[in-house]
Structure 1
Amino acid sequence: MKSLDFDFIIIGSGLAGLVAAYHAADHGTVALISKSELDVSNSYHAQGGIAVAIDKDDRPENHFQDTLTAGRGLCDHDAVDILVREGQQCIQEIISCGMEFDRNENGELFLGLEGGHTHRRILHAGGDATGKLMTSFMLKKVLGKKNITTFEYTVAVRILVDDGHCYGVQALQFVSGENILFKGRATVMATGGLSRLYTRSTNPHTATGDGVALAWRAGVQMADMEFIQFHPSALSLPGEDAFLVSEAVRGEGARLLDVNGERFMEGIHPLAELAPRDVVAAAIFRQMKKTDASYVYLSLKHLDAKYIRGRFQSIDAHLSRLEIDMTEDLIPVAPAAHYMVGGIRTDLWGQTNMPGLYACGEVASTGVMGANRLASNSLLECLVYGKRAIEKARRNLQEPKKTDNTPAPIFLNKETDEEFLSVKNELADLMNSHVGILRNHEGLISAFEEVNKKSLKYNAPSNDYNHHKIKNLIDICRLIIQSALVRKESRGGHIREDHPEESAEQTKHIIQQLGKEIQYEPVRITK
């Protein structure tokens, strides 16, 4: 088995991984590992923008409070404070490096408004192509660094652990079928989310939670896995993917109507369509049940057509291909799994409970997101915490491990492709039915039992990559379900029909770790 040595190993090429690789390159050699092409990630598909309090009428304190409000009492105050304050500096740095955000006719930065924000603070690039342009910008910067070596179509299959320390990862190269040991003095997980675990998802097909499963199996702590954010407005057409219609569309005044043409958000929340995502998604879901429909409508008929087409060029182009005029036609939308709010538990510097292993981006639970992510905070978290993870890692680089332990190889096997797809689809349907927007004890227990049945079938050790992926999916489903069963309340992205109210006693993080009982961690409150 080939072995390659680097100072830093970065797993994932979304914005968090690219930021981490860029900063790590100033302190040593870097391996950047991507499961697919380097530009395939949730970050790349982010339409809404990036939130930062830079307007003269806005302050970090306002952004801080809006984040806490959206997070429903589960945000760690110190983590949010770091985000909103250091985020300003990170934005200025990326602009000074040449990143261009949209500006108005006076040359001033254009600031949009999205759900949960009390001020216009959302920076955009290319209208609704912010993620694409930011990711492409950082990728160009990364490719210009001589001591970064990139590995596309290479998937991490095992975290290498010796005496409780991470010393790298085992990876499988899809093109050659070769197993590679990437040995490093610091390893950073930036593998993104897991929302492809659900039938309807806005995520690319690569977002299957690999990083969560690998870290869990290695003994790393997970936090708040019950909180899955469903984006309220994903296109709902037969035979079409759940294409995301950005929240910024509602920020510009779009209205939600049920199938009878009735506007319904005004009586549910003071901010109506601009309420936090958990509120809007749940309201849409309930309205769909009430009207016996599989979607609601998004209407922009009352808005300036020329402005809307210019502001949302990518969305307009996509809908036009489907013969939908976003300025004249009602757009059918329904919630879709969008963002993993919890994840690998880290400290304020991206450090996990395992020495040598760090995490940043969507895969990490830094304490910023609480029970519900505030819109457009995710790209900012990538900038801030991707950089902080490297700041911590470079100061704590481990001595290279001289272990002779060689793990068993993982092999590609085309004959089990259909088996994997079948199990994946069964699990996705199960999660959608019982662990979706609305949950209850009976449904969660039913899902847990079904997942355990699957687990028994795939318990035996296997060198088959498809079986490895099935085990990953099973582990992740079980983590989410177990955490959802324990949290007997409704809060943020976790809504229990049998426990509809928030419980003050459950204002705490749920921590899961392999081989240990569930732990509870208090929310960190700034004094």
Structure 2
Amino acid sequence: MPALVGKDVDDVVILGGGLAGLFCALKLAPRPVTVISNAPIGYGASSAWAQGGLAAAVSENDTAAQHAADTMAAGCGICERKIVEQMTGEAGDRVRDLLSYGVPFDKDLEGRLRLSREAAHSENRVVRVRGDMAGSAIMDALIQSVRNTPSIRVIEGYMGESLMVEGRYVTGVLARRRGGLERMAFPAKAVVLASGGIGHLYAVTTNPGEANGHGLAMAARAGAVIADAEFVQFHPTALNVGKDPAPLATEALRGEGAILVNGAGERFMDDLHPDRELAPRDVVARAIHREITSGRGAYLDCRAAIGARFEEDFPTVYAACKEAEIDPVTQSIPVAPAEHYHMGGVLTDANGRTSLDGLWAAGEVAGTGAHGANRLASNSLLEAVVFAARIAEDIQGLMPTPRATHWAELDQADGLPSQRNTAEQEAITVLRETLSRNVGVERNADGLKQALADIARAEEVCVRDSIKNMMITGRIIAASALKRTESRGGHARSDFPDMDPAWAHRTFTTLAEVDEIAASALGEAESA
């Protein structure tokens, strides 16, 4: 079957139909914008799966400065302070934007936002919807607004494969219909990468299948600088019930007083951190990981803290438990760490500009420096909307006069093979299992080198750009983890268990450097 290629040049093309992409498109209105999504908008977005909510200092007892301090503390010394201060300072305005789009945040009887507390926050500052439904509610409201905005064209069912590049300038996106032959070129004056995270590159993850690292690899292949790729956050409490993706037991449960116990009923966080169950996520994840690997198991006990309120206050988690034949009102919930969020990404500045002209990035694919080595709970949705708005403002300033809405006509051109072959499917399995085993909650040099060698061999059989992109992103994460010879935040090395002051900085890499590191690892493996 033929591919499709656009004749005309759009003002802005946004790759990704999640929170960052849709918020940016709305902020750009009435400028013509094309949003490309590999699933129906919102459906495959990690944003829609977010349970906790959005962090913002909007109460009279809280300040943006306190929120910034908590963010910096969780980031283990490598957050970009100015970025954090801008993000927390603009949080209130972004919450008001979301309210204007119809997001039904929980309110008290006097009409004030109801706020909850999550791990490592010093105040109640997480705005929620029905306890654990913030992500889906936010996305539902934005989708409705996007559908009602005539300047936004949505192309669904197309997966970004590569960026169109002329020198250092990004000139568009090349995408392919999922499961088919058709390829479509979207020339653009500005490209916004909002393609989401890397979760489904891991065998155990809380993320949808669309979170497969394509955008990160596309940018790296085009020559973009990648920042902090070694920092992967594992949510401590995914339901350990054998599902892929793993259902999430929101951190808000621990915020309400739920406790962690092992199979013997012993509370194991007491001696590990002053904040116990509400310690930073990397601390809790490693503690649970060790209980499981020791054979004791790990469980979230919500019986005393939540009990009969569970179904009403946390309907999403309750439904997942019941599907797994667990009654969280009367039983403890088996939990395990699962890949949840990528702190690293395509390096951007405060306005979302990447190292390539014409390319911006927002959301989980971006490396803004806001999260440092460990993201503070519920800062992900906040970062997405803050920098999506900043990108829209930046682009509007570069192209001050919106054109009349006009969409490109399409011609036909040649395509590529349509179906994944068996070898590619096996390569994906190797990638996911390798990252979970060797680039997971705890890493070491031998395991990271083995991961690079295994991914390199798996990549040899890959034909499709989409599958190669997954392999490339896996290599970027493993190579970055091998470079950082210390433990900090979400990056834990068993062979370098301590934080090293010499590593109290961000890291930056390119695909060329990753290729060199991977080639060395493969050479060592073949000569061993």
State the TM-score, normalized to the length of structure 1: 0.91
1:278-313 Cα shifts (integer Å, max 9, x gaps): 1100111112223x15x4100011124343332101
Name the structure 2 match of 1:5.
Answer: 9
Q: Which amino acid aligns with 1:474?
A: M
Whether the 8 Å CA contact 1:75–1:369 is kept in 2: the answer is yes
Q: Which amino acid aligns with 1:491?
A: R
Q: Does 1:107 align with 2:111?
A: yes
Name the structure 2 match of 1:512.
Answer: 509
Identify the match of residue 249 of structure 1 among 248, 253, 256: 253
| Structure 1 gap ranges (5+) | 401-405, 459-463, 519-527
Name the structure 1 match of 2:334.
Answer: 332
Separation in structure 1 between the aligned mates of residue 313 and residue 268 of structure 2, nearest angstrom: 25
Alignment of 1:42-81 (within 5 A): 42-81=46-85
Whether the 8 Å CA contact 1:356–1:398 is kept in 2: the answer is no
Whether the 8 Å CA contact 2:235–2:337 is kept in 1: the answer is yes
1:132-163 Cα shifts (integer Å, max 9, x gaps): 00011111111111111110001111100113
Give the Å deviation of 1:471: 1.4
Alignment of 1:310-321 (within 5 A): 310-321=312-323
Change (3 A) 1:409 1:484: farther
1:185-215 Cα shifts (integer Å, max 9, x gaps): 1100000001111110100011100000110
Name the structure 1 match of 2:213.
Answer: 209
Name the structure 2 match of 1:308.
Answer: 310
Q: Does 1:22 align with 2:19?
A: no
Q: Does 1:413 align with 2:418?
A: yes
Q: Does 1:498 align with 2:495?
A: yes
Q: Does 1:143 align with 2:147?
A: yes
Whether the 8 Å CA contact 2:476–2:511 is kept in 1: the answer is no
Separation in structure 1 between the aligned mates of residue 414 and residue 167 of structure 2, nearest angstrom: 21
Whether the 8 Å CA contact 1:235–1:241 is kept in 2: the answer is no
Whether the 8 Å CA contact 1:185–1:398 is kept in 2: the answer is no
Give the Å deviation of 1:413: 2.5
State the TM-score, normalized to the length of structure 2: 0.91
| Structure 2 gap ranges (5+) | 404-410, 516-528
Larger CA deviation: 162-171 vs 449-458: 449-458
Alignment of 1:151-162 (within 5 A): 151-162=155-166
Q: Which amino acid aligns with 1:231?
A: H
User: For this pair of structures, how many residues does the alignment match?
Assistant: 503
Residue identity over aligned pairs, in percent, reads 36
Separation in structure 1 between the aligned mates of residue 121 and residue 53 of structure 2, nearest angstrom: 13
Change (3 A) 1:409 1:475: farther
The root-mean-square deviation of aligned C-alpha atoms, in Å, is: 2.2
Q: Which amino acid aligns with 1:508?
A: H
Whether the 8 Å CA contact 1:111–1:121 is kept in 2: the answer is yes
Give the Å deviation of 1:174: 3.1
Change (3 A) 1:112 1:280: same
Whether the 8 Å CA contact 1:345–1:366 is kept in 2: the answer is yes
**2:90 partner SS:** helix
Identify the match of residue 357 of structure 1 among 359, 362, 365: 359
Change (3 A) 1:344 1:240: closer
Q: Does 1:378 align with 2:380?
A: yes
Whether the 8 Å CA contact 2:424–2:461 is kept in 1: the answer is no
Alignment of 1:220-299 (within 5 A): 220-238=224-242, 241-290=245-294, 292-293=295-296, 295-299=297-301
Q: Does 1:446 align with 2:443?
A: no
Change (3 A) 1:247 1:408: farther
Identify the match of residue 476 of structure 1 among 469, 473, 476: 473
Give the Å deviation of 1:53: 0.6
Q: Which amino acid aligns with 2:507?
A: I
Whether the 8 Å CA contact 1:114–1:250 is kept in 2: the answer is yes
Whether the 8 Å CA contact 2:231–2:342 is kept in 1: the answer is yes
**2:499 partner SS:** coil
Name the structure 1 match of 2:394.
Answer: 392
Q: Which amino acid aligns with 2:418?
A: N
Change (3 A) 1:208 1:241: closer
Give the Å deviation of 1:500: 0.7
Name the structure 2 match of 1:525.
Answer: none
Give the Å deviation of 1:175: 6.9
Change (3 A) 1:177 1:502: same
Give the Å deviation of 1:108: 2.5
Whether the 8 Å CA contact 2:208–2:245 is kept in 1: the answer is no
Identify the match of residue 344 of structure 1 among 337, 343, 346: 346
Separation in structure 1 between the aligned mates of residue 222 and residue 135 of structure 2, nearest angstrom: 31
**1:439 partner SS:** coil
1:423-466 Cα shifts (integer Å, max 9, x gaps): 111111111111110011111111122222234455xxxxx5xx
Give the Å deviation of 1:392: 1.3
